[in-house]
Chains A and B, each alone.
Chain A
Amino acid sequence: MASTTPTDSLPPTPAPPVTGLNSKSTGRAGDKVFLALSRGSGILLLVIMASIAAFLTYRATLAISENEGNFLTTFDWNPAGDPPVFGIAVLLFGTVVSSIIAMVIAVPVAVGIALFISHYAPRRLATPIAYVVDLLAAVPSIIYGIWGALFLVPYLEGLNLWLDDFFGWTYVFEKTEVGVARSLFTVGVLLAIMILPIVTSVSREVFLQVPRMNEEAALALGATRWEVIRMSVLPFGRSGVISASMLGLGRALGETMAVATVLSPSFLISLHLLNPGGGTFAQNIAAKFDEANEFGRDALIASGLVLFVLTLLVNGAARLIIARRKEYSGANA
């Protein structure tokens, strides 16, 4: 950067005490330029974000003010109709439920893989497994979608029928409609596979950072390997695993193409998770955007804003949880 030149040309004087970025006492040109640059970039970012938010909110209010249905409770999406009626109830339900299913499946498995890689597997096995898991994250989501539609859906049909047979009494796993397994449950399984790499790899890094002393102390007290994990690794890694899960949840909430390819969308809420039907915010936007007129796009933007708020809430909650457990966080080790 140009800002280094004046600093270099100065005669070697005793360095003044460093007092932080905001200090104006140094008087060096380079510092000033750098300060202005970084402050400017920060402000520019905020201005861009704010104008995007303002634009989206404006477009969303245009659509919502014309909506004849209740935006939050209507089970329909017909902004092109006369009168226009649309609501996000089904999308909100589908997004939340499919993400919960994904989390329930993915997090325990990911923690298991991470523990295996970091504490159980011999080094020669651990490295390739870690690579393979990381590689899964590099596969684009449309590929997961195609794989899901062509391979996972036919295979999950058997699992669905089995769940229906043995767990039909739970209501949730009762299959009341015929149809292939293009259901919210299948979407949840697919999302679980998709978020597995990110959760695994962050958890693994955290587990590897458990202070050696803690583990050795536990071993010295006569703990078995599982007891070591239970008493020192898991408590230490808890906040890291939570952050990893939130990263995964973020991906699950916003996943578009894979869901759009696998799900058979409909505007009905059903707690029978094996029935085809349902929808998610991102999937709905992808499916409706092409044919939507300008008003329809405004309506889709409004639904996208709800997804944005939902993601914000989830991230905020995660930060709260992590903040409460700060003393365990890897950064302090």
Chain B
Amino acid sequence: MKLQRKNGLRAAALGALVVSGTLVLSACGSDDNSGGTSGSGETTSAASDIKCDGATGKLLASGSSAQKNAMDLWVKNYMAACTGVEVNYKSSSSGEGIVAFNQGTVGFAGSDSALKPDEVEESKKICKGGQGINLPMVGGPIAIGYNVPGVDKLNLDAATIAKIFNGKIKNWNDPAIAELNKDAELPDKAIQAFHRSEDSGTTQNLGKYLGATAKADWPYEAEKKWPAPGGQAASGSSGVAAQVKQNEGAIGYFELSYATSQSIPTVSIATGAAAPVDATSENASKAIAAAKVKGTGKDLALELDYATKAEGAYPMVLVTYEVVCDTGNKPETLDTVKSFLTYAAGDEGQKVLSDHGYAPIPAEINAKVRETVAGLK
């Protein structure tokens, strides 16, 4: 092609380059929706309870993108307090984090779901004399956002959600939805259900919830891959949220922060409690409080009570873990890992979570996490 014929064309090409370059750059920014509140003001105030005991050098970590915003805050505060230490959390995905951990390239990994037995087996090669364990650090609600003009409040129960997402309920004025929303004017409009197109921890946690509470209507395994037939797919939480925002009659699931940042209304869940529960980080904390530790030894993998009927407990939650070795951590990063995770699991580390749409880990479990972190070898 003869692009170089005239200067006028060069100018036009340059202009196009600038325009498209700006578009590309602005597109890259779409992932970060923590909502500019993480200003530098907190950095100084949070420095108080961070202990840098012996932490030096560079700590690499990688994994779940669900806790990216929380991790960014922690890393920023921590590095401001402990000069000379560099913590680098690469937010990729749970699977990638665990793979990196088991290859010994990172100090710890972040994951949306606890290690599977074969992954624990593999971790014994890296953790000399020990094994990989899960430390719950960050909780959060998965919100179901919808776009139905004229309906400001929508209540659904697990069975209805399951039927909507696997195509059994096709219209917004379906009797099952009307039964749960007596006051709402439901339009005669087709439901467009959106799910994630790529493998996702959010999908898996939604599957765990629906499998635990509506087994009859959701007979699928809780995998990272979307299991149900039909529906439409979009890439990433931001993609699903954008589609819900754009299309009337749409419904989709994503972490709460995506709904608040784009002001998408979210579904309240009829759990069997006196009133349907809204998706908020406090309500998610109440549900996580009912969790039990199912891990043995130092492993603190949680078993969440998805069927909770406690007042104000939002049951559709996810918990992300930091994966470390109980014994046999790499000596060069051990002190930094301990110091950093002590801060993250500490009072201040947990407190910053709720300001950013996440849910802190309940005190009882959190106490065990701190104890375990202190005993890492």
Q: Which residues of A contact B (CB under 8 A)?
A: 77-78, 80-81, 131, 134-135, 137-140, 142-143, 146, 154, 177-180, 182, 197-198, 201, 260-261, 264-266, 268, 276-277, 287-288, 290-294
Give the contact stretch, choosing among B12-20, B76-84, B206-214: B12-20
Determine if A288 and B233 form an interchain contact, defined as CB atoms under 8 angstroms apart.
no
Chain A residues with CB below 8 A from B175, complex form: none
B178 within 8 A of A: no
Q: Which of A81, A143, A293 contacts B23 (CB 8 A)?
A: A143
Neighbour of A134 across the interface among B1, B92, B199, B232, CB < 8 A = B1
Instruction: Evaluate contact between A135 and B232: CB separation under 8 angstroms.
Output: no
Question: Cβ of B182 < 8 Å from any Cβ of A?
Answer: no
Q: Does B360 contact A (CB under 8 A)?
A: no
12 residue pairs bridging A and B, Cβ less than 8 Å apart:
A80-B199, A81-B223, A81-B225, A134-B1, A138-B13, A138-B17, A139-B16, A143-B24, A180-B192, A180-B232, A201-B1, A265-B233
Output the least CB separation between A152 and chain B (Å). Answer: 13
CB distance from A72 to the nearest CB of B (A): 20
Q: How far is the CB of B30 from chain A (nearest CB, A)?
A: 10
Shortest CB-to-CB span from A85 to chain B, Å, is: 11
Q: Are A142 and B27 in contact (CB under 8 A)?
A: yes
- B16 to chain A: which residues have CB within 8 Å? 135, 138-139
CA–CA, A277 and B13, complex, Å: 36
B229 to A: closest C-beta gap in Å? 7
Q: Mark B9-35, 1 if CB is under 8 A from A, else 0.
A: 100110011001001100100000000
Complex Cα spacing A137 to B99, Å: 39
Measured CA separation A142–B231 after assembly (Å): 24
- Report A-chain residues with C-beta under 8 Å of the C-beta of B192: 178-180
Contact residues in B for A264 (Cβ distance below 8 Å): 197, 232-234
A78-B225 CB under 8 A given contacts A143-B24, A146-B23: yes
For A198, give the chain B residue with the smallest CB separation. B1
For the complex, give the distance between the alpha carbons of A4 and B277 in Å: 82
Instruction: Give B165-202 interface residues, CB cut-off 8 Å to A.
Output: 170, 190-192, 197-200
5 new A-B pairs (CB below 8 Å) besides A135-B3, A154-B246, A182-B232?
A81-B225, A142-B24, A180-B192, A266-B230, A287-B197
Q: How far is the CA of A201 from the CA of B5 in the complex (A)?
A: 14
Considering the chains assembled together, what is the distance between the CA atoms of A177 and B234 in angstroms? 17
A294 near B197 with CB under 8 A, answer no
B198: chain A residues within 8 A (beta carbon): 287-288, 290-291
The complex places the Cα of A178 from the Cα of B16 at a distance, in Å, of 37
Provide the residues of chain A in CB contact with B225, threshold 8 Å.
Answer: 77-78, 80-81
Q: How far, in Å, is A89 (CB) from chain B's closest CB? A: 16
Query: Do residues A288 and B23 form an inter-chain contact, with CB atoms below 8 A?
Result: no
Give the Cβ gap from A184 to chain B, nearest Cβ, in Å.
Answer: 13
Q: How far is the CA of A201 from the CA of B1 in the complex (A)?
A: 7
For the complex, give the distance between the alpha carbons of A180 and B170 in Å: 15
Tell me whether A293 and B27 are in contact (CB under 8 A): no
Q: Contacts of A138 on B, CB cut-off 8 Å?
A: 3, 13, 16-17
B235 contacts partner chain A, Cβ-Cβ < 8 Å:
yes
Docked CA distance A330–B23 (Å)? 40
> A135 near B13 (CB under 8 angstroms)?
yes
User: How far is B3's CA from A137's CA once the two chains are assembled, in angstroms?
Assistant: 10
- A288 touching B20 by the CB < 8 A rule? no
State in angstroms the CA–CA spacing of A218 and B314 once bound together: 81
Q: State whether A291 touches B200 (Cβ < 8 A).
A: yes
| Shortest CB distance B165–A (Å) | 13
Shortest CB-to-CB span from A125 to chain B, Å, is: 15
CA gap between A134 and B225 in the complex, in Å: 41
Asked if B224 is at the interface (CB within 8 A of a chain A CB), the reply is yes
Q: How large is the interface on B (under 10, 10 to 19, 20 to 34, 35 or more residues)?
A: 35 or more
Q: How far is the CB of B61 from chain A (nearest CB, A)?
A: 17
Given the known interface contacts A179-B192, A264-B197, the answer about A293 and B12 at a Cβ–Cβ threshold of 8 Å is no
Q: How far is the CA of A182 from the CA of B191 in the complex (A)?
A: 15
Name the residue in B232, B233, B243 with the highest tally of chain A Cβ atoms < 10 Å from its Cβ. Answer: B232
CA distance A291 to B246 in the complex (A): 27
Q: How far is the CA of A128 from the CA of B233 in the complex (A)?
A: 40
Assess A135 versus B99: contact at CB under 8 Å? Given A201-B1, A266-B233, A288-B199: no
User: How many angstroms between the C-alpha atoms of A182 and B195 in the bound complex?
Assistant: 14
Which residues from chain B contact A197 at a C-beta distance below 8 Å?
1
Q: Which residue of B12, B200, B231, B246 is within 8 Å of A131 (Cβ)?
A: B12
| Chain A residues positioned under 8 Å from B5 (CB to CB) | 131
Of A81, A177, A201, A290, the residue contacting B93 (CB under 8 A) is A290
Cα(A131)–Cα(B234), bound, Å:
35
A146 to B26, CA, bound (A): 11
A178 and B95 contact, Cβ closer than 8 Å, known pairs A137-B1, A276-B232: no
Q: Which residues of A contact B199 (CB under 8 A)?
A: 80, 288, 291-292
**What distance in Å separates the Cβ of A8 from its nearest Cβ neighbour in chain B?**
32
In Å, the complex CA distance between A292 and B225 comes to 11
The CA-CA distance from A75 to B321 in the complex, in Å, is: 33
| Minimal beta-carbon separation of A195 from chain B (angstroms) | 13
Check if B24 sits within 8 Å of A80, measured CB to CB.
no
Chain B residues whose CB sits within 8 angstroms of the CB of A178 once the complex forms: 170, 190-192, 249
Chain B residues whose C-beta falls within 8 Å of the C-beta of A142 in the assembled complex? 24, 27
B224 in complex: contacting residue of A80, A134, A198, A287, CB < 8 Å: A80
Q: Is B262 an interface residue (CB 8 A)?
A: no
Contacts of B197 in A (CB 8 A): 264-265, 287
CA distance A42 to B99 in the complex (A): 39
Give the 7 A-B CB pairs with smallest separation, nearest first.
Answer: A291-B199, A178-B190, A264-B232, A291-B93, A287-B198, A276-B232, A264-B233
A126 smallest CB distance to B (angstroms): 12
Task: Write out the residue numbers on chain B whose beta carbons fall within 8 Å of the beta carbon of A198.
Answer: 1
A295 vs chain B, min Cβ distance (A): 10
Out of B9, B23, B229, which one reaches A268, CB within 8 Å? B229
Contact of A140 with B20 at beta-carbon distance under 8 Å, contacts A182-B232, A266-B233 already known: yes
- The answer to whether A293 and B95 touch across the interface, beta carbons within 8 angstroms, is yes
Q: Which of A78, A80, A146, A179 has the most CB of B within 10 A?
A: A179
Question: How far apart are the CA atoms of A291 and B236 in the complex, in Å?
Answer: 11
Q: Is A291 a contact partner of B235 (Cβ separation < 8 A)?
A: no
Chain A hits for B234, CB < 8 A: 264
Tell whether, in the assembled complex, residue B235 and residue A287 are in contact, meaning their CB atoms are under 8 Å apart. yes
Q: Is B247 an interface residue (CB 8 A)?
A: yes
Q: Are A177 and B20 in contact (CB under 8 A)?
A: no
Task: Enumerate chain B residues within 8 angstroms of A277, measured Cβ to Cβ.
Answer: 232
Chain A residues within 8 Å of B231, by CB: 266
